[in-house]
Amino acid sequence: MYFWNVKALIEELRTGNLLQKEKMKYYLLTTLIPTILVELYMSSPWEINSIKNVNLFIVIFANIIGILLCFEANRLGDNKDFIERMICLSVPIGFRLTIMFLIIYPPILLMKPLLINKPLSSDLFRLVIVFLEQLLYFGLLRYYILDVSGANRKNDTITLPTA
């Protein structure tokens, strides 16, 4: 993986020598770097907020695990076009989840004062919502990648990746 040598990376891309696994690593970092930078930008360096840290950890952990599970799902099938599939399938999945949360979130917000009366509980509520969003997003993405890669037609059982 090249962090500084853009010319060497360009050469691997030009010649087609960059492996799917290496492309996945680049994709993984393109999702993590903006997440971390935005969080650092939005946080005051003097403010230590454990709930924000847990939220950031959930998002980072979910991205890492979710992308690895999607990569493994693609590998179980034809092991082709991982990045293209991730990007293209993310649009309708993201759109559907956005619409779903726009529909169910307002009633939840209206009920929230009845259910939660402490600031910490409200922060924990937000963490649960973030976790559910990540779980649904990567769960659906993995499901559709299994389908498009042909893994559903190859195997009756799908295994989790091993280290």
> The tokens of 50 are what?
């454990």
The Cβ of residue 70 has, within 10 Å, a number of other Cβ atoms equal to 26
Q: What is the pTM of this model?
A: 0.75
Is 150 within the bounds of a domain? yes
Inside any domain, residue 7: no
The answer as to whether 62 is a domain residue is: yes
Residue 12 maps to a domain: no
Residue 11 within a domain: no
Does some domain include residue 42?
yes
Residue 2 domain flag: no
Domain span including residue 133 = 19-154
Residue 10: inside a domain, yes or no?
no
- Count of domains forming the chain: 1
* Model confidence pLDDT, tens digit, residues 78-97: 999 999 999 999 999 999 99
Q: Which of 64, 68, 89, 95 is nearest to 148 (CA)?
A: 89
**Helix 82-115 × helix 50-76 angle, to 10°:** 140
Local confidence pLDDT in tens for the 163 residues of the chain = 888 888 988 888 889 898 888 999 999 888 888 877 777 666 655 555 666 777 788 888 999 999 999 999 999 999 999 999 999 999 999 999 999 989 988 887 777 676 666 655 667 777 788 888 889 999 999 999 999 999 877 655 555 555 4
3-state percent helix, strand, coil for the chain, nearest multiple of 5: 80, 0, 20
- How far is Cα 97 from Cα 133, in angstroms, rounded to an integer? 8
